[in-house]
Chains A and B, each alone.
Chain A
Amino acid sequence: QKEVEQNSGPLSVPEGAIASLNCTYSDRGSQSFFWYRQYSGKSPELIMSIYSNGDKEDGRFTAQLNKASQYVSLLIRDSQPSDSATYLCADLGGNQFYFGTGTSLTVIP
C-alpha cells in the first residue's frame, strides 16, 4: 500500500510571500505526482503534474520532485489570499491515485 504524507498545517503566510508545501511518498518506484487545490466545500482541482526529477514551473507555481529523497514540493510565489485552500499531493500508481490528507494554507492579506 503506497503512502503519501503531508503536514496538515495550517500553514500561514503573508500576502506576497512564498508558500512552500511538502509531501513525502513511500514507494521508491513511483513515477508520477500531482498537486491538487481544494477550496472549502469544493472538489479538488488539478494544479500541476510532475514526472521527472527537478523543477517544473507554471505561472506562480513550481513543483519540485526529488526521487532520491522521495519528496515532492509545491512552491507558490507571490501568494494571494485567493490561494487560501487545502493542497493535496497525489502519487499515481498505475491507474490508481494515492492522496495525502492535504495541507491547509492561509494567505494573510
Chain B
Amino acid sequence: DVKVTQSSRYLVKRTGEKVFLECVQDMDHENMFWYRQDPGLGLRLIYFSYDVKMKEKGDIPEGYSVSREKKERFSLILESASTNQTSMYLCASSGGPNQPQHFGDGTRLSIL
C-alpha cells in the first residue's frame, strides 16, 4: 500500500511565523501535491511537483512556497502565517499519468 506521511496531525502557530509542513511518500512517486480544504470550498490545489527540484503553482499559491529536494519529500512553507491560512492541509502523491492520488492523513493548522 502507498503510504503518505504528514509530519503533524495538529499544529498551532502564531501570525507572522514561518511554518513548515512536511510530507513523505514511500512509493517512489514522481508527482506530489499540496491542497488545502475548507468547508464549502472543497480541495484547492496550492502547489504540485512532477520531479525533484521542480514545482508548479496551483490555484492558490499566494502566501505559500514549496521545496522538493528529494523525490520522497515535499514541503509546504507558509512564509509569514496569517489567520486566513487556518485550514486542513492535505498532501498527496501519484505515480504518473492516469494514476490515482493517495492522500496523507492531513494537518489541521490553526494560526492565532
Chain B residue at minimum C-beta to C-beta distance from A1? B59
A95 touches B31 (CB 8 A): yes
Q: What is the interface size of chain A, counting residues whose CB is below 8 A from a CB of the partner?
A: 21
Roughly how many angstroms separate A92 CA and B48 CA in the complex, as a whole number? 14
B103 touches A95 (CB 8 A): no
Chain A residue at minimum C-beta to C-beta distance from B106? A43
Chain A residue at minimum C-beta to C-beta distance from B35? A99
A46 touches B102 (CB 8 A): yes
Distance from A10 Cβ to chain B, minimum over Cβ atoms (Å): 13
B100 touches A42 (CB 8 A): no
Q: Is B78 an interface residue (CB 8 A)?
A: no
What are 13 pairs between A and B in contact, CB < 8 Å?
A42-B105, A43-B103, A46-B101, A51-B98, A94-B97, A95-B31, A95-B48, A95-B50, A95-B94, A95-B96, A95-B97, A99-B43, A102-B42
